[in-house]
Amino acid sequence: MLQIAVNNVFKSFKDVKAVRGISLAIEPGKFVAILGPNGAGKTTLVEMMEGLRKPDSGEIIIQGKTWQKQEKELRKIIGLSLQETRFSEKLTVYETLILFAGFFELGDERVNEVIGLTGLESKQKSPVGTLSGGQRQRLALAVALLNHPQVLFLDEPTTGLDPHSRLDLWNILKALKDQGETTLILTTHYMEEAESLCDYIIIIDEGKILKEGKLEDLLDENARNLDELFISLTGKTLKDNQTVLL
Ligand SMILES: Nc1ncnc2c1ncn2[C@@H]1O[C@H](COP(=O)(O)OP(=O)(O)O)[C@@H](O)[C@H]1O
Ligand SMILES: [Mg+2]
């Protein structure tokens, strides 16, 4: 069975057509990157998959279940970190995790496990307000991992992080991938992130899929990396959305 099926989904905000007919078929255990520039529709698409926004039309099916009919069951099997996850600045890392663990009726044992998984041991007594950007993202990931999610959604988990913190997060996600129990949907506008972490890459712009496939199938002599591919598809660079002269 497919882990996630997205069938011809549309979503508009007044006159902005954020997602314009996207379909996806994602198998269990895959790490999938949704790659696109700012405003491409990544967050809107992912929030619909997360059951936080309702599509105007089309359907989203996770493990054969829909958000309309089986929200409670789906909440149990997904984990997510939003593009701008905010936690209370005054609570410590440990207290924050205990708080969220309580929602899933989990105790300190699982909290200690996710602290270990995300390398936050030395920060567990620190107030969230004192954490660096990379540490905050690792905390957001730790929260997302609490309930052993079978499907994990991370919306731009490394945007704005320094290269070292980004690498730390990639290593944590690679370890998760090796365990093979989690399907990951990750949005990013860093092609290196998609290349190094993901089995399958979906390039979107203006609410539509421009191209998708395994990395090796997407590249050829005309597009030697994802940046070149994106430029050849759109005439724009992925990073700053600037038009380039071809
Ligand atoms: N809540 C909203 N209200 C109005 N417009 C929105 C809203 N959310 C997103 N948009 C618009 O939809 C488009 C896609 O946005 P988004 O999904 O956030 O893209 P991305 O995550 O790829 O940067 C953009 O033009 C954005 O301005
Ligand atoms: Mg976004």
Residue 168, SS3? helix
- Please give the structure tokens belonging to residue 162: 């320094």
Note the pLDDT of residue 225. 86
Which CATH number does the domain housing residue 173 bear? 3.40.50.300
Residue 44 near ligand 1, beta carbon < 6 Å: yes
9, 11, 13: residue to mutate for ligand 1 pocket, most atoms within 8 A of CB: 13
92 CA to middle of ligand 1, Å? 32
Position 14 in a domain: yes
* DSSP tag of 123: G
Ligand 1 atom showing the smallest separation from residue 156 Cα: 21
In a domain, 10, yes or no: yes
Distance 207 CA to ligand 1 centre (A): 10
- Determine, yes or no, domain membership for 246: no
Fill in the amino acid letter for 145: L
Please say if the pLDDT value at position 100 is more than 70. yes
Residue 68 lies in a domain: yes
pLDDT tier at 222 (50, 70, 90 boundaries)?
confident
pTM: 0.94
Q: Is the CB of 16 inside a 6 Å radius of any atom of ligand 1?
A: yes
Residue 188 lies in a domain: yes
Residue 113 is assigned to a structural domain of this protein: yes
The predicted-structure confidence for 178-191, as pLDDT tens digits, reads as follows 999 999 999 998 88
- Count each helix (H run) and each strand (E run) in the chain, helices first: 9, 10
Phi-psi region of 211 (alpha: psi -120 to 50; beta: other; left: phi over 0): beta
Phi, psi dihedral angles at 53 (to 5 degrees): -135, 145
Atom of ligand 1 nearest to the CA of 43: 21
Looking at the structure of the chain, the number of domains it has is 1
Instruction: Evaluate whether residue 21 is within a structural domain.
Output: yes
Cβ-proximal residues to 205 (8 Å cutoff; 6+ apart), any chain? 36, 37, 40, 233, 234, 236
pLDDT in tens, 36-64: 989 999 999 999 999 999 999 999 999 99
Question: Of 135, 42, 155, which is closest to residue 87 (Cα–Cα)?
Answer: 135
- Nearest C-alpha to atom 16 of ligand 1 is from which residue? 41
Return the pLDDT at 203. Answer: 94
* Ligand whose nearest atom lies closest to the CA of 17: 1
Asked whether 36 lines ligand 1 (CB < 6 A), one says: yes
- Tell me how far CA of residue 50 lies from CA of 6, 20, 163, 185, 200, in angstroms: 12, 18, 28, 10, 19
Question: Which domain does 70 fall in, by range?
Answer: 4-240
Residue 245 lies in a domain: no
Per-residue pLDDT averaged across 89-96, rounded? 97
